[in-house]
């Protein structure tokens, strides 16, 4: 079975490539290297002890996608990660996000072999601000908090259109909560090109001494300790959810199918609790201060996870301590 992984050299994609190979799949990677280094390819090859097929191309350019699918006509499944994902940058330059994220999706759907099972990287950001927790898949979508979030909502709409269109289309859209951590080898992990916006890479960079202090964005929320609550999911759990999703799509007889799954742990953790868990798990101290709220942040978001268990037979296994330990291991190895 040959699986196309778009954005396969990025943070989540690289971990899924590894899991796919370990589960016996052949993998073809597409990436334009806009948010990763080509060195990830050699690290993956080292981990699997064999060569990978890699095509450097930009999915938002129609002709490049057309030529790719002419060259590789025998693809059995697609996992589509490739997208720009910086919330802050999307607010400053929304058109760049609509162009890249929507056109990449449209071009793949236009040129991929029809009926190829398709797994899409969505996000809990599609729900917007939600008052009732945990968030279920049937929670109506609010207003997206950013152009990035809007592109995820629109990509789901494009898939729905295709599902109701003239072609057969089988897809699962996975709405990730907060992916964290790294592969146990410490060879691959989250390696943002710029100053990290997300909590974990910022925190580990402070602890290792690359940055001075972590600012907690607000301690006056209506939560147990005043800091925001999120659902942090280990990257290896997330990788497994993709394998289970593909296998489910291979198994089902329906030629036309679409569904949406929350991928999280179901456990809400505050920023202060996360820092305490990190310190306990690693024995390292986190230098932090309390700052102002970050505009656009929501107070609480954690997943109702029953649907993923029921449909694809997946649930998270790793603890938060283990996820944070793996993130720290990865940060330490980055100094090697």
Instruction: Report, as residue numbers or ranges, the catalytic residues.
Output: 148
Residues 6+ apart with CB under 8 A from 75: 2, 3, 4, 28, 69, 112, 113, 116
Phi, psi of 290 (to 5 degrees): -95, 125
Pick one of 58, 197, 297, 299: the residue that binds ligand NAD (CB under 6 A). Answer: 58
Count of residues engaged in binding ligand UD1, rule: CB under 6 A:
20
Task: Considering only residues 119 through 158, tell me which ones interact with ligand NAD, judged by CB under 6 A.
Answer: 121, 123
Quick one: which of 68, 81, 169, 202 contacts ligand UD1 (CB under 6 A)?
202
Q: Is 336 exposed, middle or buried (0-12, 13-18, 19+ CB in 10 A)?
A: exposed
Asked if 42 contacts 67 with a C-beta cutoff of 8 angstroms, the reply is no
12 lies in the binding site for ligand UD1 (CB under 6 A): no
Contact 75, 7 (CB under 8 A): no
Cβ–Cβ < 8 Å for 159, 144: no
Query: At 91, phi and psi to the nearest 5?
Result: -75, -35
In order of 27, 81, 85, 97, 146, the CA distances from 93 in angstroms are 33, 20, 12, 7, 11
CB 271 within 8 A of CB 220: no
Q: Would you count residue 13 as binding ligand NAD (CB under 6 A)?
A: yes
- Site for ligand NAD (CB under 6 A): which residue of 18, 19, 21, 31? 31
97 lines the binding site for ligand UD1 (CB under 6 A):
no
Which partner, ligand NAD, ligand UD1, none, binds residue 10 by CB below 5 to 8 Å per kind?
ligand NAD
Coil, strand or helix at 36: coil
Omega before 134 within 30 of 0, i.e. cis: yes
- Give me Rg for the CA atoms of the chain: 19
Residue 290 as a binder of ligand UD1 (CB under 6 A): the answer is: no
Instruction: Single out the segment in contact with ligand NAD by CB under 6 A; choices: 10-18, 135-143, 216-224, 317-325.
Output: 10-18
Whose tokens are 């283990």? That residue is 322
Interaction between residue 189 and ligand UD1 (CB under 6 A): no
Q: Which entry of ligand UD1, ligand NAD, none binds 121, CB below 5 to 8 A by partner kind? A: ligand NAD
User: Residue 197: which of ligand NAD, ligand UD1, none does it interact with, CB under 5 to 8 A by kind?
Assistant: ligand UD1
Contacted entry of ligand NAD, ligand UD1, none for residue 77, CB cut-off 5 to 8 Å set by kind: none
**Nearer CB in complex with ligand UD1: 44/87:** 87
The angle formed by the CA atoms of residues 185, 231 and 222, to the nearest 5 degrees, is: 145
- 330 sits near ligand NAD (criterion: CB under 6 A): no
Q: How far is the CB of 152 from ligand UD1 (least distance, A)?
A: 8
Residue 184: Cβ within 10 Å count: 12
Q: Which residue has 């986190």 as its token pair?
A: 286
Residues 223-252 contacting ligand NAD, CB under 6 A: none
Q: Summarize as ranges the residues that interact with ligand UD1 (CB under 6 A).
A: 87, 123-125, 149, 178, 197-199, 202, 214-217, 228, 230, 271, 294, 296-297
Q: Summarize as ranges the residues that interact with ligand NAD (CB under 6 A).
A: 7, 9-13, 30-36, 58-60, 81-85, 100, 104, 121, 123, 176, 179
């Amino acid at each position: 079975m040959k699986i196309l992984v778009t954005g396969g050299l990025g943070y989540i994609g690289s971990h899924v490539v590894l899991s796919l190979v370990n589960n016996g799949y052949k993998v073809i990677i597409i990436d334009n290297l806009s948010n990763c280094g080509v060195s990830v390819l050699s690290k993956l090859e080292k981990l699997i002890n064999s060569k990978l097929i890699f095509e450097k191309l930009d999915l938002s350019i129609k002709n490049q996608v057309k030529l790719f699918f002419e060259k590789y006509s025998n693809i059995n499944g697609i996992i589509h990660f490739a997208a720009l994902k910086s919330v802050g940058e999307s607010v400053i330059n929304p058109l760049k996000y609509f162009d890249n994220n929507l056109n990449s999706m449209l071009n793949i759907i236009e040129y991929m072999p029809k009926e190829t099972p398709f797994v899409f990287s969505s996000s809990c950001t599609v729900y917007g601000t939600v008052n009732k927790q945990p968030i279920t898949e049937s929670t109506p979508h609010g207003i997206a908090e950013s152009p990035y979030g809007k592109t995820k909502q629109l990509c789901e709409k494009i898939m729905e259109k295709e599902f109701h269109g003239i072609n057969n289309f089988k897809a699962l859209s996975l709405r990730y909560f907060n992916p964290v951590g790294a592969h146990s080898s410490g060879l691959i992990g989250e390696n943002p090109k710029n100053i990290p916006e997300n909590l974990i890479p910022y925190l580990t960079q402070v602890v290792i001494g690359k940055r001075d202090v972590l600012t907690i964005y607000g301690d006056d929320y209506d939560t147990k300790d005043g800091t925001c609550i999120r659902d942090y999911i280990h990257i290896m759990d997330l990788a497994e959810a993709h394998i289970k999703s593909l296998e489910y799509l291979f198994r089902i007889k329906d030629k036309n199918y679409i569904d949406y799954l929350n991928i999280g742990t179901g456990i809400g953790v505050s920023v202060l609790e996360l820092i305490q868990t990190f310190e306990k798990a690693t024995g390292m101290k986190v230098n932090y201060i309390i700052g102002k709220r970050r505009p656009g942040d929501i107070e609480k978001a954690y997943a109702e996870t029953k649907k993923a268990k029921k449909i694809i037979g997946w649930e998270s296994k790793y603890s938060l301590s283990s996820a944070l330990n793996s993130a720290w291991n990865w940060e330490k190895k980055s100094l090697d």
